[in-house]
Amino acid sequence: MPEPSPFMRAALDAAEAVRGATSPNPWVGAVVVRDGEITGQGATSPPPGMHAEAAALAGGEAQGATLYCTLEPCAAFEGKRTPPCVDAIREAGVAKVVVALEDPDPRVSGRGIAALREAGVTVETGDGREEVSRSLRPYLKHRQTGTPYIIAKFAASLDGRTAANTGDSKWITGEAAREVVHRERARVDAILSGSGTVLADDPALTARPGGILPGRQPVRVIVDARGRVPADAQVFSGPGHVIVAAGEDAPDAWKQQITATGATVIDCERDGTGVNLQQLLPALARRGIMSAWVEAGSTLLGSLFDGGHVDELWAFLAPRIIGGRGAPAVGGEGVQRVADAHALREVVVEQVGNDILVRGYTGRWDNPGD
């Protein structure tokens, strides 16, 4: 994979610094370069703030300069809330724009680059394309499929158990692994869990990297087909918003109790194991949720894998054996043949404290940048 140029690397670093804080817009970085020096740098602000290109241009002299940006600058389209970046680039007198990746959003795709070229601006594409494609996987899938990017996480013993046969699960992995989880929670739009997990552990499901509770919290999404989670569960008392995906036939009185906490209840059709995920996931995407980090029991994880919804897996394995009838990490119907198992691509294995983290891409969605 070709390495990004140093200036595109700077734009990528700016983008990564705001990952998780820009939805439903993508995290984008941009730098202005004149005479071989960076004179301005910017990244996407939360809506309705500046886009990366406008922020970079505001910070440096751009007449005759080159602008490096990780994603195609936006053009005008109906309903747009911010001024088009192509206009800001043209008005600033930028001579050249280097774009890593074209925007797959059909309202923009190719139109931003075409508008710049029509205005006499030189445009080059492809610098850093592969790395930007990986960074923006959630955004790309959201725009291409209308569903969120799903990252499944579980912590298990070496024999694949996530709890003892008594239900006890604290703690299988160590503090270092839990810190990684909090860091990743802070980078997504939503944390998805099931009613069984909430009933068993009463988790807060907040992001607390470094033990600090940041003001921006991912949406907490609880899948509860039968209406079992109590309104006084800890998940409803933390900062940020909560969505409960309930079966259409769940008790109305329970739904009223949940909405009284400030949470939103989404009515979903039922399927064999719970709510219809084919219906729920697009509904979450329409609410601006581009990425979801799943911390759930074997039933929900199994349903997500069975449906081909999981795009990335983070499996934390502790060097211990639980044995017995402890809970498996992933349930569901599974596959009939080992050859049909859900295989990981671009696998990374690393030690986190005393634990091992195995992560990689899976699922049906094909990122053109992979």
Question: How deeply is 31 buried, as exposed, middle or buried, from its count of CB atoms within 10 A (0-12, 13-18, 19+)?
Answer: buried
Structure tokens at 163: 């709890």
Give the C-alpha distances (Å, rounded to integers) separating 143 from 109, 256, 321: 11, 33, 42
Q: Which residues contact 302 (CB under 8 A, 6 or more apart)?
A: 273, 330, 331, 332, 333, 334
Structure tokens at 228: 């079992």
**E-only strand ranges, the chain:** 29-34, 37-43, 66-69, 96-99, 122-125, 149-157, 161-163, 190-194, 219-224, 242-247, 264-268, 291-295, 312-318, 327-328, 345-352, 355-361
CA–CA separation, 45 and 43 (whole Å): 6
**Is the Cβ–Cβ distance between 358 and 343 less than 8 Å?**
no
Structure tokens at 26: 């993508």
Q: Which residues contact 262 (CB under 8 A, 6 or more apart)?
A: 236, 241, 242
Amino acid in position 286: R
CA–CA separation, 167 and 169 (whole Å): 6
Angle between helix 85-92 and 111-118 (nearest 10): 20
For 70, left (φ over 0), alpha (ψ -120 to 50), or beta?
alpha
State the catalytic residues: 53
